[in-house]
A = this chain, B = another copy of it.
Amino acid sequence: MKAIFKSVTAFAPATIANVSCGFDVLGLAVDSPGDRVSVTLGVKPGLRIAKITGDEGRLPIDPDKNTATVAVKGFLAHLGISVGLDFTIEKGLPLGSGMGSSAASAAAALVAVNHLLGSPLDRKALVPFALQAEAMACGAAHADNVAPALMGGLVLIKSYNPLDLITIPTPDLLFCTMVYPHIEVKTQDSRSLLKTHLTLADAITQWGNLGGLIAGFMKEDYDLIGRSLVDVVAEPIRSMLIPGFEQVKAAAMDAGVLGCGISGSGPTIFALSKGKPIVEKAGKAMSTIFDDLDLACSIYTSPVNSDGARVVHEE
C-alpha cells in the first residue's frame, strides 16, 4: 500500500453520547463544532505530533498518549504499514465537556490517514482503532462518541462483543443546541457515581424510550423523538453535578425544543429541535440561566450530521 496524498486534513464533529435514553448504546453526531487533524508524510518513520492548538497546552504531545496518534498507530499496525507521519491537531472542542472531544481527534486523525493511504478501510472498520484510543484516554472503550464521529448520524451500539454498530437514519429537520457551562466533569468521576444496579421498573421505562427514539428517528416522527428523550438512569444522578440543570432544561423546553438532556457525562446540555429557528432561541434561553448563576458558558447550534468526519483538504 502506498500513500496517495502528501498531506490530508480531516474534520470530525462533536457527538452527543447516550442521547438521554440510550445510556452506553447511542451516540449522535452534529455538524459543528469539531476538531481538525492534519497529517503529512514525513521523511523519518514513526508518528509525531508537531503542534496542538486550542487545548491551552493540556493535551499530551507524546504520540503514545494522544488519542489521535494512538488510534492511527493501531490502524497502521492492522494494515502492516510502517510510515512516517507528522500531525497537527486543532482542537475546536473543549476538553472534558461531554461533547466527545477525545473521540473527535481520533476520528479526524483516522479519516485523514485512511484518505492519505487511498481509503483501504470504510468508516465502520475504523471504529475499533478509535475505540483503542478511547480506552487509553478514558479507561474504558466506549463507542458512543467514536462511532457517530466516524460514521455520522445516530449510531446504535447494539453490542460490544462482537462490536455491532447500526446506523439509524436521521430526520432532515433535526437540529441541535449544545450549551457548555465552563466547569469540568471527568467522565470517570461521572460514571463512578452511577449505581451498578437499577430497578426492573426503571429499566423497562428506559428501553421503552430507547425503542421510541429509534422508531421516532426512522419514522421522522419529531413528536415521538421528543417524548422519548427521557433518561431515568444517568440524568437523575449526573444532573446533580451541573449547577442549574433543571432550570436550563425547563428553559429549553419552554423555547420549544423536542427534548433536552445531558450530552455524554456532561456538563454540556443538549437539546434537539425541529427546524432551525428554535435552536437559536433555545441556546439563548439556556445560556441566560447560566448567566444568572454567574457561570460562563459556550453555545453551539448545528444541524444533525449524517456523514461523520470529513476530509477538508488534500494535496
Contacts and interface: CB of A to CB of B under 8 A. Distances in A.
Contacts of A23: 204, 207
27 contacts: A21-B207, A22-B207, A23-B204, A24-B204, A25-B207, A25-B211, A156-B211, A158-B211, A159-B208, A159-B212, A159-B227, A166-B212, A166-B215, A166-B224, A194-B200, A195-B200, A196-B199, A196-B200, A197-B198, A197-B200, A200-B233, A203-B203, A206-B207, A207-B210, A211-B214, A214-B215, A218-B219
Copies in the complex: 2
Contacts of A205: 159
Nearest to A168: B215
Interface of A: 21-26, 156-159, 164, 166, 168, 194-200, 203-212, 214-215, 218-219, 224, 227-228, 233
A208 B160 CA distance: 10
A203 B206 CA distance: 9
B164 A212 contact: yes
Contacts of A215: 156, 166, 168, 214, 218
Contacts of A218: 214-215, 218-219
A306 B215 CA distance: 17
A156 B208 contact: yes
Contacts of A196: 199-200
A198 B200 contact: yes
A159 to B, nearest CB: 6
Contacts of A158: 208-209, 211-212, 224, 227-228
A204 B212 CA distance: 16
A214 B156 CA distance: 11
A314 to B, nearest CB: 33
A224 B165 CA distance: 10
A199 B200 contact: no
Nearest to A213: B211
A276 B196 CA distance: 43
A210 B203 CA distance: 12
A302 B21 CA distance: 34
A260 to B, nearest CB: 18
Contact of A22 (B168, B195, B211): B211
A199 B25 CA distance: 15
